Amino acid sequence: MTTNKIRVAIVGMGKIAVDQHVPSIAGNPDYVLTAVVSSRDPAMPGVAWHKTLQSLLDDGPAIDAVALCTPPQVRYELASLALSRGVHVFLEKPPGATLAEVGLLEAQATKSGATLFAGWHSRFAAGVAPARAWLADRRVDSVSIVWREDVRHWHPGQAWIWEPGGLGVFDPGINALSIATHMLPDPFFLTAATLSTPANRAAPIAADLTFRDSRGAPVTMDLDWRQTGPQSWDIVVETDAGTLSLAKGGAVLTLPSGVEQHDDEEYPGLYARFATLIRAGESEVDVTPLKLVADAFLRGTRVAVENFDD
Amino acid sequence: MTTNKIRVAIVGMGKIAVDQHVPSIAGNPDYVLTAVVSSRDPAMPGVAWHKTLQSLLDDGPAIDAVALCTPPQVRYELASLALSRGVHVFLEKPPGATLAEVGLLEAQATKSGATLFAGWHSRFAAGVAPARAWLADRRVDSVSIVWREDVRHWHPGQAWIWEPGGLGVFDPGINALSIATHMLPDPFFLTAATLSTPANRAAPIAADLTFRDSRGAPVTMDLDWRQTGPQSWDIVVETDAGTLSLAKGGAVLTLPSGVEQHDDEEYPGLYARFATLIRAGESEVDVTPLKLVADAFLRGTRVAVENFDD
């Protein structure tokens, strides 16, 4: 591979693209933002605008990679089209609306030689790598995950998140699972779940989950989208060497020896990883967090709760 | 490996164990039914009876293998216990209540050297192997799966099937998926689903599903547990070489050249396969059918339908 800049296009200019992808690409000398696919012209100087990925690939400037920031329900078609042209693909989380489609994309990437990267941004939170290293030698006795936020603040008017194929409260919850599945030394599986779904919505607004790891330690998870006031994104791990606490979505790590706090580097970390994979000609697709969510939908008890309107 | 008889224990003496497992073991000279684990004494001459698998493994006659015929919700513990003692495990379908737990069992089997076999009985229906061979060279244009049966007849009073972790109408439906995923030349993924669930139950009584294969051909699936009168277990595949039809759950294959009908050999086929795997020191765990069901629960639209009582 050369070390030419990677010409990347963003597909889907929603909140996450504007807030995170654009500045992360601008801040990384490995990339140049070449094009945007969006229903409206973002009016970015020097950046081509196309209404569809098909149009960009057929008539636009040459690109090496796409970052797919659309809702998951439509991501398969876009990813498959890009891979069929040998274009590298960065999938926002969750990587798809189903497990099977991600498996098909993975096979297609292998066949095409293009890179497929299923990004989990929370795994790049500052505290996660040191937490993982610290836990590697420990015996885990229990894990508590509490992820409570205000959906009106974080997902204002995002209807897709409540539709079938959107994940409801598992949209933030899958971030916690992406950290836990990466950080904990043993794999874990679901043993019970209760999913609370507003009577007027298709997706849950809250969930209580119980997992167990392969050595028998309990992992509990409390998800709620109705939290006003202080927000909670905390994982606490009790071990034979004391308590590890990861707060603020992975940014603040507290070990028995003290507190470590670092700047947020989630999306810059994702783009650095994507460049490394492209240069190495490799893919990285870990569906474990989505598998655990699918298991919760498969095995969970559903209860109806009061209507949600925003 | 020696060619000594495989000493097998059946765990869970429900309808499927009595109807299928006992006669299939009796009819296969590779096996001897050594023990049964059940809450009630089945009073089978020469067969040990234990109330729990733990008790059988601790105090009973030596066994080489177990066939787990319990509901899926409790199967993980039993399988994990058996594998920890180096005992081979045959999992009835579905292989577990979640995808993650089956993954953990697979890893445990690899580590222990024991055989783990996730059996899909419908794949051993007489028409499936010839259908698969015929389809291997064909272009599939569309697939229609219709699986409609009377739950009162086939699952009388089986409460577990309606509980979270039971699959509702996907309990038979997963048989169709086990055939389709084995028989069709290309993998497929879910694009839309509607799950109809009685207001007083946790699991769906009917479902309409749309899949698409990796070459774009549509695969539709119509599941219904409210069918009285004639029952339907049919898969019709339109190809560039004409129509393939598989009826009666896989027993009757119709090709453009004519009809093939054979005796039912599903469970004898499963036990022959299990013996082959044990003698070869291998495992066989294909979770694709369960993954497609999990995807349907994850992505499907739910509609409430009238109460079901039996």
Q: Specify the higher pLDDT residue, A164 or A1.
A: A164
- CA-to-CA separations, A264 to A121, A251, A261, B7, B127, in angstroms, rounded: 11, 7, 9, 58, 58
Whether residues B300 and A103 touch (CB distance < 8 A) is answered with no
C-beta of residue B188 within 8 angstroms of C-beta of residue B212 = yes
Cβ–Cβ gap B295/A100 under 8 Å: yes
Measured CA to CA, the distance from residue A296 to residue B125 in angstroms comes to 32
Distance of residue B173 Cα from the nearest chain A Cα, in angstroms: 14
* Set of chain B residues whose Cβ sits within 8 Å of the Cβ of A100: 187-190, 288, 291-292, 295
Mode of pairing for the β-strands spanning B140-148 and B188-198:
unpaired
> Which contacts (CB < 8 Å, 24+ apart) does range B83-88 have?
B83/B108, B83/B109, B83/B112, B83/B114, B83/B116, B84/B108, B84/B112, B85/B57, B86/B112, B86/B113, B86/B114, B87/B57, B87/B63, B87/B114, B88/B6, B88/B64, B88/B114, B88/B115, B88/B116, B88/B117, B88/B274, B88/B277, B88/B278
**Which residue from B104, B291, B293 is facing A187, i.e. has the nearest CB?**
B104
Does A262 score more than 80 pLDDT? no
What was the pLDDT predicted at A72?
A: 86
| Active-site pick, B51, B93, B111, B248 | B93
Q: What is the mean pLDDT of residues A27-54?
A: 96
Whether A92 has a pLDDT exceeding 70, the answer reads yes
Q: What percentage of chain A reaches a pLDDT higher than 70?
A: 99
The three-point CA angle B122-B128-B129 to 5° equals 125
Q: Which of B101, B195, B299 to mutate to test the interface with A (most CBs of A within 10 A)?
A: B299
Cβ–Cβ contact A76 with B under 8 A: yes
What's the pLDDT tens digit per position in B190-247? 999 999 999 999 999 999 999 999 999 999 999 999 999 999 999 999 999 999 999 9
CA of A301 to nearest chain B CA: how many angstroms apart?
Answer: 6
For residue A47, what pLDDT band results from cuts at 50, 70 and 90? very high
Give the pLDDT of residue B166: 83
- What pLDDT is stored for residue A197 in this prediction? 95
Q: Residue A1 has what pLDDT? A: 44
If you average pLDDT over every residue of chain A, what do you get? Answer: 95
- List, for residues B3-16, the tens digit of each pLDDT value: 699 999 999 998 89
CB A283 within 8 A of CB A117: yes
Taking the CA of residue A183 and the nearest CA in chain B, the distance in Å comes to 17
B-chain residues near A300 (CB < 8 A): 164
> Does residue A230 have a pLDDT over 70?
yes
pLDDT band at B1 (very low <50, low <70, confident <90, very high): very low
Q: Do B100 and A292 touch (CB under 8 A)?
A: yes
Q: Could you tell me which residue, A55 or A73, shows the higher pLDDT? A: A55
Nearest to B99 among A188, A193, A295 (CB): A295
Which residues of A carry out catalysis?
Answer: 93
CB pairs under 8 A between A and B: 94
Point out the residue among B103, B298, B301 whose CB comes nearest to the CB of A294: B298
All domains of chain B in start order, with CATH: 6-118 (3.40.50.720), 125-262+294-305 (3.30.360.10)
Total Cβ atoms within 10 A of residue B1: 8
pLDDT at B3: 64
Lowest mean pLDDT among A70-74, A143-147, B57-61: A70-74
From CA A293, how far away is CA B99, in angstroms rounded? 10
Chain A CA closest to residue B288: A100
Q: Please tell me the distance from the alpha carbon of residue A131 to that of residue A135, in angstroms, as a whole number.
A: 6
Angle at A73 between CA A69 and CA A78, to 5 degrees: 55
Can you give the pLDDT at residue B195? Answer: 96
Residue A3: pLDDT band (50, 70, 90) is low
- Predicted confidence (pLDDT) per residue in B132-150, tens digit: 999 999 999 999 999 999 9
Which pLDDT value is given to residue A56?
98
Does A202 contact B302 at a Cβ distance shorter than 8 Å?
yes
CB contact under 8 A, A291 and B99: yes
Residues in chain A within 8 Å Cβ distance of B165: 298-299
Residue-wise burial string across A54-70, b where 16 or more C-beta atoms lie within 10 A, e elsewhere? eebbeebeebbbbbbbb
Residue B298 has pLDDT above 70, yes or no: yes
- B255 alpha-carbon distance from chain centroid: 25
Q: What is the pLDDT of residues A249-258, one digit of tens each?
A: 999 999 999 9
Q: How far is B295 from chain A (nearest CA, A)?
A: 5
What average pLDDT does the segment A81-92 reach?
A: 98
Q: What is the pTM of this model?
A: 0.95
CA dist list (Å): A143 to A98, A99, A180, A209: 27, 26, 9, 12
Complex-level ipTM = 0.94
